[in-house]
Structure 1
């Protein structure tokens, strides 16, 4: 029986998030500049977006560029931004054909104007698509997101828009970048690193974590299926005991 045949469509993660790691090491391994690793990584993005949509996963979030990534060498940052623009231009037809809506989270105003304009254009063009929501985390950092949220809620308390007693998880969720997304069910990180790297810290409270040695440019649909099968073999208790679930 193939991996695809073993997937239980009734137990798919509703929200899959991916830390796409290993582009630089992939390039070094092949004797190439780091920028070539990022270029090769776009093939993996296409594979996983199509694979997730084919499986029927409704929400996919990709960690494309963190707030800390701005500290990388200037040439690498410029290449990543150009790659973002060119990829969006190339893939808009694929998104439309596959009925995929594009969204973005992060400090988007920090992006170069050309990248921001292209991003907004594709978001607008795909806004009515319903098969899957693909969210790109760009200039994203969870601590920055949480800090922003605290400031916004504090301002509302100060101006008597809400009271301290009204603040609960629902209020916090509504002030996060991810206000229109459900909590993450499965988080995949490639390249063998086993850390979260400031990604969706609030939203992964009960997510299953899956780490693979595969470098991101080599990640394919078969690796996605392996991760899903691993996820489906776990018992998600959300603080309860096994006996309570049964």
Structure 2
């Protein structure tokens, strides 16, 4: 009698899980599907401590959880996913811990752009968001290569926030807006164009107040590559945004399951989407009042 291997049984369960998710997602699609979900992946270090794992092991398990969340989100039809991978504040941690995370990040970025990766399976374009100059050269080069390799993917988008804080993003956008406006002033002066010149001269004297507006700033935000999130999920039960997407999260649904990031699963995402659908009318009403 032929003995069946464990891999065959695993494939059967995987196919069954995929089928069940499709059934659930088809029911969910009767209601509004979020266009953009953002994740604060909190609790990797606490998970390692809780499970008596070596330092850094929590982040490795957390990467597997991330792959599951990406798969579920893209299967559901979510086009944009954003993750908070590493804050500028995280650079203040012990140098050994920072280096360990950077090494792991480089390794996982290279895995992401593998031909068989989830990005290519779902046609995902990846953006690295933040002050990338703060990254080590190997990580920065890996990030740049990932963005280049996936540039032609157009079905979905993954934004990875590294060396990021929202206050840094806003400051950068204001600086870029000012540089852009001063370039316009110089061009107008050089060409001798009269249109708007009086207003620009007034700006130089501090008299004009409206040359830089919200639209200018929003165009220069790091996250201009994606619409505002519909759902923001932070694990470990924390209800703080921790300087993440402060500009963009004014009217998104916030969900804070008590599980640590490596413990997050399909049912947590499902619950977040159901609650988003339940509150969708109210959230849309608030947006229209802007």
Aligned residue in 1 for 2:242: 197
Task: Provide the C-alpha distance between the structure 2 equivalents of 1:239 and 1:137, rounded to a whole number of angstroms.
Answer: 26
Report the equivalent of 2:10: none
Distance 2:112 2:265 in 1: 18
Unaligned runs of 5+ in 2: 1-19, 187-199, 204-208
Whole-angstrom distance in 1 between the partners of 2:285 and 2:35: 20
Give 2:112's match in structure 1, choosing from 66, 91, 98. Answer: 91
The alpha-carbon deviation at position 166 of structure 1 amounts to 4.1
> What's the offset of the Cα at 1:58?
0.6
Aligned to 2:50, which of 29, 49, 64? 29
Q: Tell me how large the CA RMSD over aligned residues is.
A: 2.2
Secondary structure of the 1:63 match is strand
2:99 aligned with 1:54, yes or no?
no
**2:146 is equivalent to residue 122 of structure 1:** yes
Q: Note the 1:33-44 alignment, pairs <5 A.
A: 33-44=54-65
What is the DSSP-based 3-state SS (H/G/I as helix, E as strand, rest coil) of the residue aligned with 2:127?
A: strand
Q: Structure 1, residues 98-135: CA drift from partner, whole Å, max 9, x if none?
A: 21111111001111110111111111111111221001
Decide which of 244, 252, 255 is 1:207's aligned counterpart: 252
Map 1:90-239; keep pairs closer than 5 Å: 90-92=111-113, 93=115, 94=117, 95-159=119-183, 160=185, 164-238=209-283
Q: Distance in 2 between matches of 1:186 and 1:71?
A: 29
Superposed CA offset, 1:62-105 (max 9, x none) = 00000100011111111111111111122223111221111111
Separation in 2, partners of 1:189, 1:47 = 16
- Ranges in structure 1 where 5+ consecutive residues have no aligned partner: none
What is the aligned length?
243
Indicate the structure with greater helix content: 2
* Contact 2:129 2:162 (8 Å CA) reproduced: yes
1:234 Cα deviation (Å)? 1.1
Q: Is the 8 A contact 2:31 2:277 kept in 1?
A: no
Instruction: Work out which of the two has the higher radius of gyration on C-alpha atoms and give 1 or 2.
Output: 2
Tell me how far 1:184 sits from its aligned partner.
Answer: 1.3
2:193 aligned partner:
none
Instruction: Identify the residue that residue 71 of structure 1 maps to in structure 2.
Output: 92
**How far off its partner does 1:222 sit?**
2.5
| Stretch deviating more after TM superposition (74-83 or 88-97) | 88-97
* Contact 1:13–1:186 (CA under 8 A) maintained in structure 2: yes
